[in-house]
Amino acid sequence: MRAILMNARGGREVLQYGEVPTPEPGPGEVRVRVKAVALNHLDVWVRRGVASPKLPLPHILGCDVAGVVDALGPGVTGLEVGLEVVVNPGVSCGRCERCLSGQDNLCADYQILGEHRWGGYAEYVVVPAANVLPKPEGLSFVEAAAVPLTFLTAWQMVVDKLQVRPGEDVLVMAAGSGVSVAALQIAKLYGARVIATASSEAKLERARALGADAVVNYSSPEWYKEVRRLTGGKGVDAVVDHTGAEFWQGVIKATANGGRIAFVGASSGYEAVTPLAHVFYRQLTIYGSTMASKSRLYPILRFVREGKLKPVVGAVLPLEAAAEGHRLLEERAVFGKVVLEV
């Protein structure tokens, strides 16, 4: 099959177009003919060797796949060749205590498609049968591929960890990113008033169009004061963040007494200074978060089908242009998802 092979760790040049044998589905697995695969910042971290640095090479990236079931492994029932599907990127053992309690992203054997196993920058991908869901009607393969990882990640933060309630003020940092585009919409769905930050007027405008009630340009060093002003001096009740060290103190200062912060990743650096007085004296709660239970893709896709959550696609490229897609991601050149058509 045709694929983009990652032959080394490093710059975009390590992504090379080539051919590898088409994988065969094992017991309980299905093979999906990939139609579209969305890019995530995780792909860049893996390519650079920041995430999963000991991964055997060559590797195939790609967490977010939409396609058509192409072959069934032994023992697979309830699925048919030809079914149009969205692939759930979280793979787990399915029988441990964590998995059985709906916390499969805490399973000791948890894997992310495209990070710990070959992903979708290819004509075909093999996944457990539990990982395919019917593609919502009315959604193109490109739009469908833009949903799973970012909406799952945002859902766990907004719904499961922060437990956002109607009428709360929610701050969504870096609104142009895939996770933030999803978090903004989910927070609105839950009745919050959303304040979104971004670094350019164009991105702030897009955030408004997606439903943000107020926007703040966080390239100014005292951006958090504007957030406090917008909330009458109170600060926000909950924050969705992944911006890292550079903005961390501002995030804490933008949060109301008793507020909650959930963060997934730390784009500008992992070594942040936490003003602990704010955390205990103002009784803040800080949640680390990554991915979500596979089960969460069911409500997400129902809301997508109803048009209440919308995948936002910023650029569509052919599979061969994966390296160019990484450039768009690394330079934060697009609002929304970069998707490769296969």
CB nearer to Zn ion: pick between 95 and 229 = 95
The region of 96-104, 117-125, 160-168, 295-303 touching Zn ion under the rule CB under 5 A is 96-104
Least separation, in Å, of the C-beta of 98 and Zn ion? 5
C-alpha 57 chain-centroid distance = 24
Query: Does residue 297 touch Zn ion according to CB under 5 A?
Result: no
By CB under 5 A, tell whether 130 contacts Zn ion: no
Q: Using CB under 5 A as the criterion, what x/- string covers residues 74-93 for binding Zn ion?
A: ------------------xx
Widest pairwise Cα distance in the chain: 61
Footprint on residues 48-67 left by Zn ion (CB under 5 A): none
Per DSSP bridges, beta strands 169-172 and 236-241 are: parallel
The token pair that represents 107 in the structure block: 């399973």
Q: How far apart, in whole angstroms, are the C-alpha atoms of residue 300 and residue 286?
A: 24
Minimum distance of Zn ion from residue 27's CB (angstroms):
17
DSSP E strands in the chain: the ranges are 2-6, 15-19, 29-38, 64-72, 84-87, 90-91, 111-112, 124-128, 132-134, 169-172, 193-198, 214-217, 236-241, 255-263, 285-288, 313-318, 337-341
Q: Which of 36, 38, 99, 264 binds Zn ion (CB under 5 A)?
A: 99
- Which part of the chain contacts Zn ion (CB under 5 A), choosing from 64-72, 99-107, 163-171, 299-307? 99-107
Least distance (Å) from Zn ion to the CB of residue 124? 26
Using CA atoms, how far apart are residues 23 and 39, in angstroms rounded to an integer? 21
Question: Smallest distance from the beta carbon of 77 to Zn ion, in angstroms?
Answer: 21
Question: Could you tell me if 183 and 158 are in contact, meaning their C-beta atoms sit under 8 angstroms apart?
Answer: yes
For residues 1 and 93, which CB has a smaller minimum distance to Zn ion in the complex?
93
Region of 291 (left: φ > 0; alpha: ψ -120 to 50; beta: rest) is left
Q: How far is the CB of 97 from Zn ion (least distance, A)?
A: 8
Least separation, in Å, of the C-beta of 93 and Zn ion?
3
Site for Zn ion (CB under 5 A): which residue of 14, 72, 107, 256? 107
Strand 15-19 and strand 2-6: pairing?
antiparallel
**∠ CA 325-331-332 to the nearest 5 degrees?**
85
Q: State the DSSP H helix or E strand holding residue 202, giving kind and residue range, or none if neither.
A: helix 201-209
96 is a contact residue toward Zn ion (CB under 5 A): yes
- Contact range with Zn ion by CB under 5 A, out of 71-79, 104-112, 114-122, 333-341: 104-112
Minimum separation from the CB atom of position 105 to Zn ion (A): 10
Residue numbers at the binding site for Zn ion (CB under 5 A): 92-93, 96, 99, 107
